[in-house]
Structure 1
């Protein structure tokens, strides 16, 4: 599919300075190097959404194409995404259904968040790329999700970069029809699908008034951060744990036992909205990655 001019390679690069401030620049991603799209090792990231909201359970094959370059060794996915060597740069390829794009401010907040967590001295870039064909009120089945990833994961990146693919879509997850709640996001391999239509409709129905837009924004941010956490190997999803903090309930999959952590099992479904709304009403800070998750990441660097 040809890329429309208004979304073609608009890039946001945010790199943290020594004092923690964020420098923001715009431009085109540098693909002057001989960028390659080779198969990424995804053994550490299959079936990362089990129980709770989403449930991939390894049903979708991991995608090819992450610009590994020729390092002479095969690293697990979490190592490629967290460490500076051999990939000092992380590119987030962002595709969307027209009208259901990611909020620009949320995208920047995600870059800022993970710039402070991952060891990527050359920065983290978001490249707004393809348009995804609208689904309407249709359901995204596992086969549909895999097909979309295969079709749209096409951004070439430099040899010193590793890539995560994120799709914001309309429609809803097919599994919603079998659940009491709705799924807001899925992660498999190094791909994320965000059900923006579902996020918007549910947060707008949850409350009226001035808190509505803030709820929608915080929900989009939390779900994106949660799914990105799975992609980098949390919790016990390939990334080794310094101390055991995995939810002991086997139905909750690779999630944190701490309800105040981004990686809690409920934070990929509409169950997240109750928590966010309660925090907003009581003027509490947003949910963050807990110390156990941060310790796992730091130990992997």
Structure 2
């Protein structure tokens, strides 16, 4: 069978919102030494995708220039390997991250790279489908980093702000697997979904401190704010020490933010293993064909999605 010479890729020709995204026909990339080429089958969306490309100044801070691709999380199958590659062979199922270029039919990543430099790949465990694998890298790593800051365990009651979002679905379940009680903030319509993850739902917004006190009279002992600062500040008011509070989308003096780039080695493989074993599930809120990328990004950018949004390729 003749190898394709072109494929689809989502690109920006000017930075901005979803309207600036286009599906383009581009040359199929070729792997160099130490690289693999992946035929992407699914790409998971994250808030950082559209934040990084929202304007030229922000893009420049992340080293992005035009024309620019889109998306970071991917899953697929290795279809070609470069010289010196020993960890992968053609036909291997893989998942990982390639910053701002994952939504494409083909991507080239380094065998030993990072999300930012060269891209990265991990073997997809048996029992994990590609759509699910495509959601793991950014959200799973960020959740693992947040848990590492607050270190929940048996006897803890953890307050998680934004518990139904892309990172929240991982953080809730990982905290529960660690033995903690979890109270998760969300909207009224997310209550059943939060219960299904193992969290006790509570409404966010004004009066949060009083609602938490009523639900947990003995108090909360740790907190993760996965949306902004409201949950972190409420936790302080509830007496949680700063060293057991973390944020991912904002910074507060005295509180350690969680950064997925600093996740402990092996954390992502552990999360993938938990998914494969059926101990952790990833709700897929919606999936779209690549031709509907603008609609998918608009939905994801609303920040009210319960679970993950995935692009099928």
Q: Structure 1 length as normaliser, TM-score?
A: 0.31
Question: Higher strand proportion, which one?
Answer: 2
Whose RCO is larger (CA < 8 A, sep 6+)?
1
Larger radius of gyration: 2
Q: Structure 2 length as normaliser, TM-score?
A: 0.30
